[in-house]
Amino acid sequence: MNDTLFGRIIRREIPATIVYEDDDILGFKDIAPQAPVHVLFVPKGAVIPTLDDATPEQATLLGRLMLAAAGYARREGFARDGYRVVMNCREHAGQTVFHVHLHLLAGAPLGHFGTP
């Protein structure tokens, strides 16, 4: 159960800079930021390896990841300027941690999206 890198962060077995937590979701700074603000939002419960593994019963949880990111952006004051959320799925998207997570990127113009 939750035996992924992010599971270990959730259990506080390895350190991370945690910036958000509620009953279901943990938010922490990405260790290799791709923008001035780069936070990962992950579900704390049962592991969903990729978005492709998610079931209809997990729709609310996935939506709450989005709203956690949006709320964080609003509170931190960069919602007005804008931000990007990304969820990588498997090889072609470069997914490296198989515990579904939402990237929140912000803090500067982010450029064109999707260039290979």
Q: Which residues form the catalytic set?
A: 101
- Report the DSSP beta bridge partners of residue 5: none
Minimum CB separation from ligand AMP for residue 68, in Å?
Answer: 16
For residues 102 and 40, the answer to whether their CB atoms sit within 8 Å is yes
Minimum CB separation from ligand AMP for residue 98, in Å?
Answer: 8
Binding mask 18-47 for ligand AMP (x = CB under 6 A): ----------x-xxx-------x-------
> How far apart are alpha carbons 63 and 67 in whole angstroms?
6
> How far apart are alpha carbons 26 and 65 in whole angstroms?
9
Closer to ligand AMP by CB, 80 or 92: give it. 92
Output the six-digit token pair for 53.
């593994």
Instruction: List residues near ligand AMP by CB under 6 A.
Output: 5, 16, 28, 30-32, 40, 88, 94-97
